[in-house]
Structure 1
Amino acid sequence: MSGAHTDEANGPAEAGGTDATVAALQRHAKGKRPQLFADPAVDHLLAMVLELASELWVARERGAALEGALVRAGALAADATDTFELDAGTQQALDSERQVFIQRLLRTLEGDV
C-alpha cells in the first residue's frame, strides 16, 4: 500500500495533509446514482461486485504485506499462515465483522426492497 491519501472528489490529497485534514476534505456524491444498464438490478449487482472486489484486494494486499514483514523479520515461517487455526474468540469476532461486511455489501439493494 502506498500510503497516499486520496479525496474521492478531488484525487490525491495535497502533500503534507494530515489524516484528519484528508478526512475533512472527503466528499460524498449527492443525488441519484446514474443508471448504466436498462435493468437497475444489474447496476446494483455491479456495485456489489465492485465493493466486494475492492474489499478483497485491500485484504489481500494487507495480508501479503503483513506476512512478508513477519517472514522477513524471522517471526513467521513462510508456510505458517497456511497451517494456522484461529482461536474461538477471534473466530467469533470475525463472524461478527463478516455480518457487518455483508450488510454493507447488500446496502445498495435497500432502496429497492
Structure 2
Amino acid sequence: MADAGKGGVKLPRVSKGKRPRFFDDPAIDQMMTFMLELMSEVTALRERTDTIERLLDERGFVARADIEAYRPDAAGEAERSAWAQAFIQRVMRFHEPGAS
C-alpha cells in the first residue's frame, strides 16, 4: 500500500457498504468469492515456485532475498501469463466460441 506521507494515496483498510450481490442465493456469491480468492493464492504460489525453479536453474542455489527481488524477463513473464490464462480457463470452464 502506498504511503500517503510520500505522495501516495492512502487507501481505507475497511470496505464500506454492503458486499455486492450477483446471484439470488448469497451462498453462491460466497462460494464464488472463495473460489476467486483461492485461485489468486494458487497463482501467487505458482509464480513463486516458478521463481525458485528459475533461480535454481541460473545459480544452483536460492536465497530468500533473491526470491523477493526476482523479476522475470519478457519470455518468463509471457510464460507466466499464458499459464495464468490457461488456469483461469480450466477452472472457470471458459471455452472459445465454437469449441467443444
TM-score (norm 1): 0.44
TM-score (norm 2): 0.49
**Greater relative contact order structure (CA < 8 Å, 6+ sep):** 1
